[in-house]
Chains A and B, each alone.
Chain A
Amino acid sequence: MKKVFSRTSSLRDVDTHYCSGCGHGIAHRLIAEAIDELDIREQVIGITPVGCAVIAYNYWNFDCVESPHGRGLAIATAIKRVRPQNIVFTYQGDGDLAAIGTAETIHAANRGENLTVIFINNAVYGMTGGQMAPTTLIGQKTATSPRGRDIGNEGYPLKISEIVAQLPGVYSVERVSCDSPKGVLKAKSAIKAAFKNQMDNKGFSLVEVLSACPTYWSLTPADSLDWMQNTMSKEFPLGKIK
């Protein structure tokens, strides 16, 4: 029988540890497919974050380096400078990239490092139990904003993609959302383009992926997708920012 579909070779055959409806599995697969379609698996070095996705290397079948919390872009900078022949990307959550690692993010972007950044924004800290993230929406209830995020106390959701896009060293910034089959396909083409940019020595490319966390949104997986479409993407508008 003719085989018409199979697991892409950058993904391993393992069970998931992610919760039902979690967006990380989708993002992992999109990255793996983009890498295989570009035929760069043997050149790729992935930087995994601290957070739910720390063990992304258990799913990916290529070289990975596990970063201290927030420092992914410092590590990636050094790796790409030492080994420009490799394709280097970071996979970072909102706490990692936009809170503790803000300085590393801004400065790697400003240096125009030739890197690919996949920024997973699910508006909450997952691994530690659903605390407020820098991207938590105003009024959103979390373990550490039990009355809802209050701008007087916690400030506004941080739009790091828009900030980074201002920097002259940055080549490309795009925000996508894995909230529907159409959104997933768009996310894949953005991720693939961000890798292609690096292969073409274009410089710093960031893809912000809005991603579901039903567990800490206290929603069903299906309701999570509705919330992303109707609420989250209003705060974080989709599309090419730069």
Chain B
Amino acid sequence: MTKGQKILISGNEAIAQAALDAGCTFYAGYPITPQNEIIAYMSEHMPLQGGVFIQSESELAAINMVFGASAVGARAMTSSSSPGISLMQEAISYIAGAELPAVIVNVMRAGPGLGNIWPAQSDYFQATKPGHGDYHCIALAPSSVQEAYEVTKDAFRLADMYRIPVFILSDGMLGQMMEPLLADSQGSMADGKRKKLSTIDYRLSTKKWAATGCKGRDAHVVKSFYMNMGELERFNLELQEKYKKIKAREQKQEALYIDDAQVVLVAYGTMARLAKEAMAILRKKGVKAGLLRPISVWPFPEDIIKRLTVSGKRVVFLVIEMSYGQMVEDVRLAVNGRAQVEFLGRSGGGIPSEEEIINKTVALLNC
């Protein structure tokens, strides 16, 4: 591949390539379907770029390796799928508590438990309202291979800027699907002419806090433990300030035909592709439908929903998910009783079809 040339690539591989192009120098992972293309791609390409690839003994080890690599200043990533992410949950809280940048890819499959390897969106809660302690991760949900590439690259920037773990919330459909990708990779993936990272300008921010050996400075400690009275509360308030800043600056969405919409379809990721098609068909039928597609699911794009609803204009939100209702809670909070919020969802392998979305929308407007 040369710069400016389109290639056909899967969503999983696009995420891996994006990480390499963003200057990710460390990847650790453990095999789990449906994300295995990421770890395989990294094992092939990361060493060629001069970075470190490790197939770890578990997801626990993988995320803690990311913790370690990040603590000494590397741009680090891991990837997994739903049950594997559950195993990583503890360390993600430590990463948030130690204010380390990290990128974590969840190619969601259906649950609970081992569930199956079909695509699902049932880990929304886990990504947006994560594990123990008061913390947040930024969570980005692409809905095409191209966007998977772009948000993954951006995830490294956001992770460094805010010193925060960033989730890429993909799913088995998007991960396995192949689409054309226009990447801005420097050098070739196939011809062995990839440049070593040291020669690539990836604008890695200077990480003055990293533990790199105390030559010429006081010792650094990377930690999340605050034992003294009041110390943890003060630290948590600082974290909350950071989250407030992120909420104010980093909400990201695609909004189509929402200004005159009687019904706004709200969907993200793979589900939003079907919702978009349904919206187009509804518009052809004369139904004023719009689409709100959150790209950042944390911070959730609540500002645009507030703007749509404070005017008192009558609008119905139909939230469609490959789950039994997770993002719908955030829509209800943003709407705050000012409009009707309805839900359509399937999970366990099923995906709401265009027809189901259209029928539900028409039924809503007729009642």
Contact = CB atoms under 8 A, between A and B. Distances in A.
B57 A83 contact: no
Interface in B208-229: 211-216, 219-225, 227
B98 interface: yes
Contacts of B1: none
A86 B224 contact: no
Contacts of A45: 72, 211-213
Contacts of B220: 63-64
Contacts of A63: 211-214, 219-221
Interface in B302-356: none
Interface string A19-62: 00000000000000000000001111101000000110100111
Given A63-B220, A65-B211, A86-B212, A78 B66 contact: yes
Interface string A86-112: 100000000000000001101100000
B58 A77 contact: no
Contact of B219 (A64, A81, A106, A107): A64
Main secondary structure of the interface of A (DSSP, over half): mixed
A62 B214 contact: yes
A68 interface: yes
A175 interface: no
Contacts of B227: 55
A60 B219 contact: yes
Contacts of B223: 57, 64-66
B94 interface: yes
A67 interface: yes
B221 A75 contact: no
A74 interface: yes
A44 B68 CA distance: 14
B174 interface: no
Contacts of B358: none
Interface residues of A, number: 34
A71 interface: yes
A78 B28 contact: yes
B32 interface: no
Contact of A104 (B54, B61, B98, B219): B61
Interface in B27-75: 28, 52, 54, 56-58, 60-62, 64-69, 71-74
B24 to A, nearest CB: 12
Interface string A213-238: 00000000000000000000000000
B251 interface: no
Contacts of A71: 60-61, 64, 67, 91
B276 to A, nearest CB: 40
B222 A64 contact: yes
A57 B52 contact: no
Interface residues of B, number: 40
B167 interface: no
A132 interface: no
Nearest to B52: A81
Contacts of B211: 45, 63-65, 79
A173 to B, nearest CB: 20
A14 interface: no
A82 interface: yes
Contacts of B149: none
Interface string B173-217: 000000000000000000000000000000000000001111110
B81 to A, nearest CB: 20
A171 to B, nearest CB: 20
Nearest to A64: B221
A75 B67 contact: yes
A76 interface: yes
A82 B94 contact: no
B65 A77 contact: yes
Contacts of B147: none
24 contacts: A42-B213, A42-B215, A45-B212, A55-B227, A57-B221, A62-B213, A63-B213, A63-B221, A66-B222, A68-B94, A71-B64, A71-B91, A74-B61, A74-B64, A74-B65, A74-B67, A74-B68, A77-B68, A78-B68, A78-B69, A82-B25, A82-B73, A86-B72, A107-B57
